[in-house]
Amino acid sequence: MRDTLNQIREKARAGPKRIVFPDAYEERILRAAEILVREKIAYPFFIGDRHQMEQKARELGVESHSFEVRDPRYDVNAERYAQEYYALRRHKGITLEQAREAMRKPHYFGAMMVHLGDADGMVSGASTETKPFLPAFEIIRAKETFHKVSGVFLMMWPDGRLLFFADCSTEIEPDAKDLAEIAIDTAETAKRFGATPKIAMLSFSTHGSAKHPSADKVREATQIVRYKRPELIVDGELQVDVALVPDVARLKAPDSRIQGDANILIFPSLDAGNIAYKLVERLAKAHAVGPILQGLQKPVNDLSRGCSVDDIVDITAITVVEAQRSS
């Protein structure tokens, strides 16, 4: 488990990037940033009041002199950012004054830094709900028109096993086209981590064993993936035991290309994905890293509010590696 994460950190050290942290006063973020600087993984950019951030760092005994701090209230780029946000959102009825107000908010300001190339990526969520990631969707946007953004978790075990779970954080009720996009994006993510994608499109049904629109949706999504990316190993609809247990796969789906050896699990809804990753994390003692947001034009990644300092360092290293590939 740690070997994979250490390899990611090593890749990040080969080309550190500027990563924005809107949660400037959060203890775990400050402690993680100190490690990021010491290990030369990233250049942290904090959004907030410099005096308040430095005071918090002193209280914690964190060395913060290497942190860049941008205060939206006084920053020389504030008006430029507001004008850009206005240009992006005026078709939604946003006024220029509302754009200026939005740019005073750390998550909006940070997302605009990434959008305009003043930073290379953003990591947030340790002290907020997922809702502050709306700025990323509004400003950085999906890589293609109408493309869905999804969240993948890396599920890791001490023996080196690695599975990719998606979507576990973003798209509540994906349709067949959405599921296909999530599967294809997750396959590309898996490749970046050195894995050969084997995708199981999950359902409560295996190859028509049950009749229901939900199973039909998964079956249709599988067909879309095969049409768009015929080189990928994918099957569905499959029950999770078929995806992960060879003996069950031989019994229930002997002709499937997935014979209990799937390393990507695509869930039919956010309910299923979010519940599954937390169950596996708590009961199967997997280490969950993520969610890594897929489908955005530039790297922005989320944090669980229960994340540790090491989790923050790891997701930042992943963000740096993503930024290296997009630069």
User: Which CATH number is 1-141+298-327's, of 3.40.50.300, 3.40.50.10950, 3.30.70.3340, 3.40.50.620?
Assistant: 3.40.50.10950
CATH topology of domain 144-295: Rossmann fold (3.40.50)
- Select from 105, 55, 49 the least CA-distant residue to 82: 105
Q: Which of 257, 229, 230, 231 is nearest to 242 (CA)?
A: 257
pLDDT of residue 260: 95
Average pLDDT estimate for 92-101: 94
**Who contacts 188 (Cβ-Cβ below 8 Å, separation ≥6)?**
294
Say yes or no to pLDDT of 1 above 80.
Answer: no
DSSP-based three-state secondary structure for 303: coil
Secondary structure (3-state) at 289: strand
Going by pLDDT thresholds of 50, 70 and 90, the confidence category of residue 132 is low
Q: What pLDDT shows up at residue 327?
A: 64
User: Domain segments of the chain: what residues?
Assistant: 1-141+298-327, 144-295
Q: Where are the alpha helices (DSSP H) in the chain?
A: 2-13, 27-38, 50-60, 78-89, 96-102, 106-115, 134-135, 176-192, 213-228, 240-244, 246-252, 270-283, 309-326
Query: Comparing 1-141+298-327 with 144-295, is the CATH topology the same?
Result: yes
Work out the pLDDT band at 47, boundaries 50, 70, 90: very high
State how far the Cα of 255 lies from the Cα of 238, in Å rounded to an integer: 12
Question: What is the predicted pLDDT for the residue at 142?
Answer: 78
Amino acid at 16: P
Percentage of the chain modeled with pLDDT above 90: 70
> pTM of the predicted model, to two decimals?
0.85
pLDDT category at 128 given cuts 50, 70, 90 is low
Q: Could you give the CA distance from residue 144 to residue 70 in angstroms, rounded to a whole number? A: 30
pLDDT digit string, tens, across residues 143-200: 776 678 899 999 999 888 999 999 998 888 999 999 999 999 999 999 988 899 999 9
Give strand pairing partners of 211: none
Q: From CA 257, how far away is CA 266, in angstroms rounded? A: 16
pLDDT at 129: 55
pLDDT tens column, 105-114: 999 999 999 9
pLDDT tens digits for 288-323? 888 888 888 899 998 877 788 998 999 999 999 999
pLDDT at 2: 67
Confidence (pLDDT) at 138: 86
For residues 60 and 34, the answer to whether their CB atoms sit within 8 Å is no
Q: What is the pLDDT of residue 133?
A: 63
Look at the block and give the residue holding tokens 């599954």.
276
Q: What's the pLDDT at 250?
A: 95
310 C-beta neighbours (distance < 10 Å), count: 16
Q: What is the pLDDT of residues 210-256, one digit of tens each?
A: 999 999 999 999 999 999 999 999 999 999 999 999 999 999 999 99
The separation between the first and the last C-alpha atoms of the chain, rounded to the nearest angstrom, is 28
Q: What is the mean pLDDT of residues 36-65?
A: 91
Instruction: Return the biggest CA–CA distance within the chain.
Output: 66
Average pLDDT value over all residues in the chain: 91
Q: Are 123 and 316 in contact (CB under 8 A)?
A: yes
